[in-house]
Amino acid sequence: MKLENTELYFDRAKKIMPGGVSSPVRSMNATGGIPLYIKNSSGVTFNDIDDNTYYDLCMSFGPLILGHSHPRIVDTIQKVAIDGTSFGTCTTYEVELAEKIIEQHPSTDWIRFVNSGTEAVMSAIRLARGYTSRDLILKFAGCYHGHADSMLVKSGSGLVTFGLSSSAGVPEDTSKNTIILKLGDHEALKKAFEIFGDRIAAIIIEGIPANNGLLIQSSEFMHLIQTLAKKNGALFILDEVITGFRIGSGGAAAYYNIQPDIVTFGKIIGGGLPVGAYGGRKELMDTIAPLGPVYQAGTLSGNPLAMAAGNEVLSILSEKNAYEILENNGALFENMMIEEFDKNSKPLSIRRVGSIIWIIMEEDAKPTQPNMISDNAVIKYNQFHNLSLENGVYLPPSAFEVAFLSLSHNEHSISNIIDKMSKAGEGL
Ligand SMILES: Cc1ncc(COP(=O)(O)O)c(C=O)c1O
The string of pLDDT tens digits covering residues 242-279 is 999 999 999 999 999 999 999 999 999 999 999 999 99
- For residue 267, the ligand 1 atom closest to its alpha carbon is 10
Position in ligand 1 atom list of the atom nearest CA 143: 1
One domain, residues 296 and 242: yes
Of 59, 24, 9, nearest to 330 (Cα)?
59
- Residue among 59, 118, 262 to mutate when testing ligand 1 (max atoms within 8 A of CB): 118
How confident is the model at residue 156, as a pLDDT? 65
Residues 50 and 79 in one domain: no
Catalytic positions: 144, 239, 267
Residue 238 sits at φ, ψ, to 5 deg, of -100, 115
- Beta strand 53-56 pairing with 393-394: parallel
User: Binning pLDDT at 50, 70 and 90, where does residue 417 land?
Assistant: very high
Ligand 1 site residues, Cβ closer than 6 angstroms: 61, 116-118, 121, 144-146, 206, 211, 239, 241-242, 266, 276
Say whether both 271 and 375 belong to one domain: no
| Mean pLDDT along residues 301-328 | 97
What would the pLDDT profile of 145-188 be if each residue is shown by its tens digit?
A: 999 999 999 876 666 667 788 899 999 889 899 999 999 999 99
Q: What's the average model confidence in pLDDT over 9-16? A: 98
Verify that 76 and 62 share a domain, yes or no: no
Strands (E) located in 183-239: 200-206, 235-239
The protein residue with its alpha carbon nearest to ligand 1, atom 5, reads 146
Ligand 1 atom 2, closest CA: 145
Burial of 224 (0-12, 13-18, 19+ CB in 10 A): middle
Please report how many Cα atoms fall inside a 13 Å half-sphere around the Cα of residue 367, on the Cβ side.
25
What's the confidence (pLDDT) of residue 224? 98
Closest C-alpha among 58, 41, 39, 60 to residue 50: 39
Probe target for ligand 1 pocket from 145, 151, 212, 358, with the most ligand atoms within 8 Å of CB: 145
| Ligand 1 mean position, distance from CA 264 (Å) | 10
Q: What's the structural domain count of the chain?
A: 2
Query: Does 96 lie in the same domain as 31?
Result: no
**394, 61 in Cβ contact below 8 A?**
no
pLDDT averaged over every residue in the chain: 96
User: Are residues 378 and 306 part of one domain?
Assistant: no
- Which residue's CA is minimally distant from atom 13 of ligand 1? 146
Chain Cα centroid distance, residue 167 = 20
Which of 258, 290, 319 corresponds to the end of one domain? 319
Beta strands in 315-422 (DSSP E): 349-353, 356-360, 393-394, 403-404
Average pLDDT over residues 383-387: 98
Range of the domain at 231: 71-319
User: Considering 266, 298, 319, which residue would you say is the last residue of a domain?
Assistant: 319
For the chain, percent helix, then strand, then coil, each to nearest 5? Answer: 45, 15, 40
Q: Which atom of ligand 1 is nearest to the CA of 23?
A: 9
Cα–Cα distances in Å, from 217 out to 99, 138, 141, 223, 378?
30, 17, 13, 11, 22
| Average pLDDT estimate for 206-210 | 98
Alpha carbon nearest to ligand 1 atom 3, residue = 145
* Residues 332, 219 share a domain: no
- Say if residue 105 is in the same domain as residue 181: yes
Same domain, 325 and 415: yes
Collapsed DSSP state (helix, strand, coil) of residue 237: strand
pLDDT tens-digit series, residues 55-93: 999 999 999 999 999 999 999 999 999 999 999 999 999
Same domain as 149, residue 63: no
Cα(205) to centroid(ligand 1), Å: 12
Among 319, 342, 360, give the residue marking a domain's end.
319
At 266, which helix (H) or strand (E)? strand 262-266
Q: Which of 150, 211, 273, 402 gets mutated to test ligand 1 (max ligand atoms within 8 A of its CB)?
A: 211
CA of 341 to the centre of ligand 1 (A): 31
* Cα 144 to ligand 1 centroid, rounded to whole Å: 7
Q: How far apart are CA 231 and CA 225, in angstroms?
A: 10
Burial class (CB in 10 A: 0-12, 13-18, 19+), 356: buried
The CATH number covering residue 176 comes to 3.40.640.10
C-alpha–C-alpha distance, residues 81 and 50, integer Å: 29
Q: Is there a single domain that holds both residue 190 and residue 245?
A: yes
CB 396 within 8 A of CB 389: no
Instruction: Grade residue 14 by pLDDT with cuts at 50, 70 and 90.
Output: very high
Q: 213 CA distance to ligand 1 centroid (A)?
A: 14
Whether residues 117 and 266 fall in one domain: yes
> Looking at residue 50, which CATH number applies to its domain?
3.90.1150.10
Measured from the CA of 121, which atom of ligand 1 is nearest? 4
Question: Could you give the count of Cα atoms lying within 13 Å of 143 in the half-sphere of its Cβ?
Answer: 30
